[in-house]
Amino acid sequence: MRVHFWSADMAGSSFYRAVLPAMALSWLDHQVSHGVRLPQNWASYDTIVGCRVAQTGPTAMWRKLKEEGKRLVLDLDDDYFHLDPSNQAAVEAWTPDMLRRLADNMAVADLVTCVSEPLAEVLRDYAAEVRVIPNGLPAQYLGRPRDYAAEGRPLYVGWAGTSSTVAELPEAVRALNRISQYSRPGGVMVRLVGIDAQQAMALGLRGRQVGALGWVERLEHYLHAVEEFDVWCAPYRDTAFNRAKFATKWLESSVLGIPLIASDTPAYRAVIRHGENGFLVRYEHEWGRLLKRLVDDPELRQRIGMTARGEASGSIMQALHVQWQAALTAPVEVTV
């Protein structure tokens, strides 16, 4: 099989939905490429996986590919039909015309793939066949050792996101400010990955114990940055957009063996058993209590982190590549 993953851009989602699947399929001896442009010899490819195909030019090419008899798979990792108004940039980008083209392109595709069953339920209004293929990470991250004791050094409490998810962070700002002032040998540092110091200060996060790394472009550099977290916070509001999301922070924290505290939203409720492999927060005051508990107890950090890591083997690309292979090689059903 010869496949090209056609990315809409090189943002973080393209690594999960194009770069990593392409790499994983190559392990099964398929000829796979990826990029924001189609290869010059696209006519020799069997299948094109288009990520978020919705702009005018790519849409015209999508129709040409269909006319040429290519197998088309359209992949989505977010619910663009229910964007939260707080994400103004996304709302402005995903105009009614963009959404109409996206819906039409899903109808043209032989298959639509996505990251979660709640998202699939939304997309089935626009496509005849939708298949869920979760995100994954390479197995190499499972074996990296962790220092759960954190003796004689700062303990890092982390958050990771982007300018589009920064609206979720206020749910935990008060608790993060408090824990940064908590007295323990070595102190506590709050580390923010994906936003800069100015954005952090605008949210009320400030002080010498708060550090903001800013945007990290490459996935491997991002994973290196978050790997330093001793405790990971993943606050989310209960919105229609978030209910369709994949629990990416659970994937990343569990593979790295980092104990996670996440908002009790459907995505995280599906994977976290409270107090066993992570913690779920329903009310704002619980952030501070759970952070203090994990900061105070290295054995709890290790138990939660290692339990989560032990369950992460099903989330590696070496386990998921067969799902991509099955989706991209399944026969196309012809309706007469």
Beta bridge partners of residue 289, listed in sequence order: none
Question: How many beta carbons lie within 10 A of that of residue 311, not counting itself?
Answer: 16
Q: Which CATH class is domain 2-136+317-329?
A: alpha beta
At 132, is the secondary structure helix, strand, or coil? strand
Query: Are 2-136+317-329 and 140-315 the same fold in CATH?
Result: yes
Strands 31-35 and 2-6: parallel
At 232, is the secondary structure helix, strand, or coil? strand
3/45 Cα distance (integer angstroms): 6
261/239 Cα distance (integer angstroms): 19
Architecture of domain 140-315: 3-Layer(aba) Sandwich (3.40)
- Rounded to 5 degrees, φ, ψ at 75 are -115, 135
Domain boundaries, the chain: 2-136+317-329, 140-315
Provide the pLDDT for residue 336.
33
Provide the pLDDT for residue 330.
72
Q: What is the mean pLDDT of each run of 10 residues along the chain (336 residues)?
A: 90 88 94 93 94 96 96 96 91 96 97 97 96 94 91 95 88 96 94 93 91 87 94 96 95 97 95 97 96 97 97 90 90 48
Provide the pLDDT for residue 335.
41
At 244, is the secondary structure helix, strand, or coil? coil
